Amino acid sequence: MRILIAAVGRLKQGPERELAERYRKRAADCGRAAGITAVDIVEIRESRTDNAELRMQEEAKAIVQAIPDRAVVVVLDERGTNPTSKVVADHLRAWRLESRPAAVFVIGGHDGTAAVLRQKAGLILAFGAATWPHQLVRIMLLEQLYRAMTILTGHPYHRN
């Protein structure tokens, strides 16, 4: 199973991009032993439309095109459930056992994610009740994916 992060907006060169890349690489390296073939990021171009609803719909259309058949879709949204790191790892294990070709994690832009994407989601995931900037959400998600890989492979990074 491949992990794909579909994120609206381009992360500029700088500390956010550096941290995101560090955790992406660690997740990919550690994930191989857990049957995860890749951890990739696809950046979706931000829509330039004035209307927020239309913007989200345009971005959603581009995101949907990036989702492979039979992939499980996970939407990052503060209205979602709020799992422990162990539960994130359990989800990944279950999807792999279902022979899902990919788990696609969707990070919306400034306006959030369109309802059509939340309806496709097998899981809506929140990092607590707080609001986070989407650049930070990308880093937080990649850290949780790396942590999940260490839980699945018994690597000592995660301690309870």
Interaction site with a copy of itself (CB under 8 A): 14-16, 18-19, 22, 82-85, 87-88, 110, 126-133, 136, 139-140, 143-144, 147, 158-160
CA 113 to chain CA mean position, Å: 13
Give the nearer residue to a copy of itself in terms of CB position, either 66 or 126.
126
Give the nearer residue to a copy of itself in terms of CB position, either 70 or 115.
115
CB of 40 to a copy of itself, least distance (A): 21
Beta-ladder partners of 82: none
CA quadruple 46, 51, 52, 56: dihedral, nearest 10: -50
φ, ψ of residue 50 to 5 degrees: the values are: -70, -40
Give the nearer residue to a copy of itself in terms of CB position, either 55 or 147.
147
- Report the C-alpha gap between 77 and 131 in whole angstroms: 9
CB of 101 to a copy of itself, least distance (A): 26
Q: List all residues 6 or more positions away from 17 whose beta carbon is below 8 Å from its beta carbon.
A: 11
CB of 79 to a copy of itself, least distance (A): 12
- Environment class of 39 (CB within 10 Å of its CB; exposed 0-12, middle 13-18, buried 19+): buried
Give the nearer residue to a copy of itself in terms of CB position, either 23 or 95.
23
CB of 68 to a copy of itself, least distance (A): 26
